[in-house]
Amino acid sequence: MKGKISNIEEAKLFVQGATFLGTGGGGFPAEGLRVLGEALEAKGKIEWSDVDDIGDDEIAICTFLMGSTAPMTPEKEEEMKKLGLTEKKFKTNMMNAINEWEEYTGKHVDIVVPLEVGGSNLPAPMAVAAMMDKKIVDGDYAGRAIPEIFQISLQKEDVNLCPAVSFDKYGNVSIIKSAISLTIAERIGKYLSEVAFGSTAIAGFPITGKQLKRLLVRGTVSQAYRAGELIEEAKAKPKELPKLVKELGMKKIFQGTTIKKEWVDENGYYMGYHYLEGEGEYAGHELKMYFKNETHIVWIDGEYKVSSPDLICTIEPDTVVPLRNDDIVEGTKIAVYQKPCFPILKDERIKKYIDPQYFGFDIDYKEI
């Protein structure tokens, strides 16, 4: 065992850290905490181990939520009522997706791996694994949150999503038997999430323990827990926030108030810009952030500052509460931090899908 969560207070720390490192996306923290609470009630603890401790022939599956994090609108709610999507019957749809995958393939899953870091997309797969008595390893496939499933370490060896299962909270189940590429698999998954008016749980990316040891972004579970501890310390002693920054290898690049927000909910993505006016030592300066579910590019005074694959993390400076992009509205105070990504994301086979040019900007990625 490398680490564990034993009670709801520790679960809160973990979700808090995962939300901060989720780069403005990564799912809803309340959902992550809810599922962790269920797992703790059922099993008493959630443990994770080092990936080197697993067997080479064991089977690992990845489960994650796919869809938009855009706020619900009255128009959407009305359309959902007309379609009969009023009762969310399945709260642990990741578990249902894994069960359906095992039934379809006839294979037993030994290990459950999160796709990414975030308030629910890191803790929820871990909670589901604990409830299903499956192994959890210290890592994920992105080291941050991502908007598209092909922006992950598995690209290094062309790992296929399929066969995969989609299971949404209303009980709609789909088998994705094959897809010609991860980009096409992404589109299929997004369409299924749009049908659910939010998100759907996916189970896929089957690999062996031997492959997992090569491709896992290691240490992210422990890092998220530690980040949560340091944020909690900073709430008691705001002057201690630099301790978090130093220990996690981060750097503060801006602090200010949101003066404008532009966004659309399009093709299963929550996209737009935040505009900030600087305060304190940043007074007289302006920041613009581009987000597609997660935050991907920052400009300060019109000059490119930092971008994906590196992490751009936001927190409310007075309360020291991590912020997601759907939390941010006009008037929200934000402190912005940058953090170097894990080295594997700089591999050209992965980076080309998450650098500024991929998102349509004529900007060359610059390492921080």
Scanning the structure block, which residue is given the tokens 């009980």?
171
> Any residues with CB less than 8 A from the CB of 190 and at least 6 apart, and which?
66, 67, 267, 268, 269
> Any residues with CB less than 8 A from the CB of 293 and at least 6 apart, and which?
24, 25, 68, 69, 145, 146, 147, 269, 270, 271, 325
CA distance 99 to 106: 10
CB of 233 within 8 A of CB of 243?
yes
Quick one: DSSP state of residue 341? P
Strands (E) across the chain are located at 3-5, 46-48, 59-67, 111-114, 139-140, 164-167, 173-176, 199-208, 217-218, 251-266, 269-278, 286-292, 294-300, 303-307, 311-316, 321-322, 333-339
Give all domains of the chain, ordered by start, each with its CATH number: 3-220 (3.40.1610.10), 241-351 (2.40.390.10)
CA distance 356 to 294: 13
How far is CA 318 from each of CA 1, 167, 254, rounded to the nearest angstrom? 36, 39, 14
> Any residues with CB less than 8 A from the CB of 252 and at least 6 apart, and which?
245, 335, 336, 337
How far is CA 333 from each of CA 36, 74, 360, rounded to the nearest angstrom? 29, 27, 28
The DSSP annotation for 198-237 comes to SEEEEEEEEEEHHHHHHH-EETHHHHHHHHHHHHHHHHH-
CB-hemisphere CA count at 13 Å for 306? 20
User: Minimal CA–CA distance to 182: which of 67, 365, 360, 353?
Assistant: 353
CB of 129 within 8 A of CB of 227?
no
User: Minimal CA–CA distance to 69: which of 127, 140, 115, 118?
Assistant: 118
Q: What is the mean pLDDT of each run of 10 residues along the chain (368 residues)?
A: 93 98 94 95 97 97 79 70 65 88 98 96 96 98 94 93 91 91 87 78 96 98 97 85 90 97 87 97 98 97 98 95 96 97 94 96 96
CA distance 63 to 101: 10
Cα–chain center distance at 344: 17
How far is CA 7 from each of CA 20, 24, 69, 131, 162, rounded to the nearest angstrom? 20, 26, 28, 15, 35
Look at residue 267 in the predicted model and tell me its pLDDT.
Answer: 76
Look at residue 71 in the predicted model and tell me its pLDDT.
Answer: 66
The DSSP annotation for 150-191 comes to TSSGGGGGT----SEEEE-TT--EEEE---SSHHHHHHHHHH
CB of 124 within 8 A of CB of 201?
no
* Token pair recorded at residue 40: 């703790």
CA distance 295 to 308: 8
Look at residue 120 in the predicted model and tell me its pLDDT.
Answer: 92
Q: Please give the single-letter amino acid code of residue 5.
A: I
Q: Give the containing element (helix H, strand E) for 15.
A: helix 8-20
Scanning the structure block, which residue is given the tokens 């700089």?
346
Residue 112, φ and ψ in degrees, nearest 5:
-115, 125
* Token pair recorded at residue 334: 């934000």
Task: Report if pTM > 0.75.
Answer: yes
